[in-house]
């Protein structure tokens, strides 16, 4: 990044930097003193002198402003590829899911805790599928938590990608995202594109789940997630499918590759001409 920005300045060419969440407090706390040195010596200047910064959500823009950067900021979401499978492939059984790297930061154990709050009768009518791999110690911890709580309906599917992953996503009644920190949250958008409603923590930038009726944007406590699990167990399958269709429509309209590419084109044209500033660029 620094070399690219330095060369651009030497050639008097405008440049755009996309931090991709690297300046969130949670990210800066990792290897904190090294990052403070690098920011002071190199990176803060690169950010200040960029023609524009590209944030993938409003929350990231607020983080950049809180750090003192007054550079124009374009808020443009990540593009979400069209699904490789036919959205909504539920078979009637209520299946909850988790997708992501198995790491303590993702807090998959909260979903296990939520499942344990259901009655034995409720537990027999649903299943939790944990999709992903990661730290062996944390994955072992999750297995032991499920055993300790006497849960017989937790399945560890391991790492999946591509069509295989999306095919499983399309069978879920809901995906639960309990992590305390997500920048844009590609797994949320990918699940929605497959017709799967999503429960996301309020620490993610997905308030639109509530606004469009394709999921739930709530604090990811075990109690809140258990309440949504109970709701899904009593909902008509057609209602869940309706929520799924709303999510797929939202992604196709707001986050398609074509839509994002058009916004990026408008951004570059504005940078080069300084005319017709796009509405998604904030000074």
Asked if residues 47 and 17 have their Cβ atoms less than 8 Å apart, the reply is yes
Binned at pLDDT 50, 70 and 90, residue 181 comes out as confident
Per DSSP, the three-state class of 156 is: strand
Q: pLDDT of 26-49, one tens digit each?
A: 888 878 888 888 888 889 899 999
Confidence of residue 203 (pLDDT cuts 50, 70, 90): confident
The alpha carbon of residue 95 and the mean position of all alpha carbons in its chain are separated, in whole angstroms, by: 20
Cα(155)–Cα(138) distance, rounded to whole angstroms? 16
Three-class SS state of 254: helix
Q: For the chain, give the number of residues.
A: 283
DSSP per residue, 208-239: HHHHHTSEEE----HHHHHHHHHHHHHS-HHH
Structure tokens, 21: 């969440």
Average pLDDT over residues 238-258: 91
Mean pLDDT of 46-54: 94
Average pLDDT over residues 125-140: 93
Nearest to 209 by CA among 182, 230, 236: 182
Q: Cα–Cα–Cα angle for 62, 68, 74, nearest 5°? A: 45
Share of residues in the chain with pLDDT > 70 (%): 100
């Amino acid at each position: 990044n620094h070399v690219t920005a330095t060369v651009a300045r030497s050639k008097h060419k405008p440049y755009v930097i996309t931090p991709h969440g690297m300046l969130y407090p949670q990210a800066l706390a990792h290897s904190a003193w090294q990052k403070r040195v690098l920011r002071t010596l190199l990176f803060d200047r690169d950010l200040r002198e960029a023609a524009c910064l590209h944030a993938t959500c409003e929350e990231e823009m607020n983080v950049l402003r809180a750090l003192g950067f007054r550079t124009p900021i374009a808020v443009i979401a990540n593009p979400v590829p069209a699904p490789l499978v036919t959205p909504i492939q539920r078979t009637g059984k209520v299946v909850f899911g988790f997708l992501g790297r198995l790491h303590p930061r993702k807090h998959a154990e909260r979903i296990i805790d939520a499942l344990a709050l259901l009655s034995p009768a409720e537990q027999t009518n649903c299943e939790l599928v944990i999709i992903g791999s990661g730290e062996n110690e944390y994955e072992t911890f999750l297995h032991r938590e499920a055993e300790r709580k006497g849960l017989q309906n937790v399945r560890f599917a391991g790492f999946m990608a591509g069509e295989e992953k999306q095919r499983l996503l399309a069978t879920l009644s809901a995906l639960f995202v309990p992590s305390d920190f997500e920048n844009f949250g590609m797994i949320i958008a990918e699940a929605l594109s497959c017709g799967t409603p999503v429960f996301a923590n309020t620490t993610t930038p997905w308030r639109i789940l509530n606004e469009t009726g394709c999921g739930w944007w709530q604090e990811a406590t075990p109690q809140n997630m258990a309440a949504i699990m109970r709701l899904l167990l009593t909902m008509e399958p057609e209602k869940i499918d309706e929520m799924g269709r709303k999510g797929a429509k939202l992604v196709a309209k707001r986050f398609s590759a074509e839509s994002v590419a058009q916004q990026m084109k408008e951004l570059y044209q504005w940078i080069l001409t300084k005319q017709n500033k796009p509405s998604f660029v904030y000074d």
